[in-house]
Amino acid sequence: MTSHHDITANAADTVQADHTLRGFIGYVMKRCFNSVQADLARELEALDLRMLTFSALIVVVDNAGLRQSELAQALSVERPNLVVIVDELEKRGLIKRTQVPTDRRAYALTPTAAGKELYHTALKVVQDHEAKILAGLTDEQVRTLRDALKSIQKSADG
């Protein structure tokens, strides 16, 4: 039988209103990721970066010369959304977009010196953030977490 009960305006009770959903790992993961994303967004804001512009910058610096289509694939981002991100990074002088000589329809992306500098600064910010959110866990727990997430993703994709 399902438990039906009125909840009051009391905050402690309200927190329990989603008790059925909290039984699902998918929901716990969503709530956790929302908190991580909001917290990281605050840190990246200081560098005028969003999660996706940060991710795109990292991939372009690590893979100088990659094509826009490859960046879209690497980040699993839809093409129109990616164009907005690339435009923003180019406008800020962090990456350059050049036509691929062998394929006029393709654009290759390369980082500028400013892009490479921001890469290192931003990586440090995200590494510190990562250390903060993992502070309560042992290395062994982090390994299990990482393996579990990979296993779940594989099952969901399969």
2-41 positions binding a copy of itself, by CB under 8 A = 2-7, 9, 11, 14-15, 17-21, 24-40
Cα(148)–Cα(138) distance, rounded to whole angstroms?
A: 15
Q: Which structure tokens are listed for 102?
A: 């062998």
Strand partners, 110: 96
Cα(23)–Cα(69) distance, rounded to whole angstroms?
A: 39
| Total of residues contacting a copy of itself (CB under 8 A) | 76
Cα(50)–Cα(43) distance, rounded to whole angstroms?
A: 9
Degrees to nearest 5, angle at CA 151 with 135 and 22: 65
Question: What is the H or E stretch that residue 51 is in?
Answer: helix 51-62
Q: Give the residue with the Cβ less far from a copy of itself, 28 or 84.
A: 28
Q: Give the residue with the Cβ less far from a copy of itself, 17 or 114.
A: 17
Q: Give the one residue of 71, 82, 85, 86 binding a copy of itself; rule: CB under 8 A.
A: 71
Q: Give the one residue of 46, 84, 114, 142 binding a copy of itself; rule: CB under 8 A.
A: 142
| 66 near a copy of itself (CB under 8 A) | yes
* C-alpha distances in Å from residue 56, one per residue of 80, 111, 139: 14, 11, 28
| 75 near a copy of itself (CB under 8 A) | yes
Q: In this structure, are strands 66-67 and 95-100 parallel, antiparallel, or unpaired?
A: unpaired
- Minimum CB separation from a copy of itself for residue 96, in Å? 14
- Minimum CB separation from a copy of itself for residue 32, in Å? 4
Q: Give the residue with the Cβ less far from a copy of itself, 14 or 93.
A: 14
| 86 near a copy of itself (CB under 8 A) | no
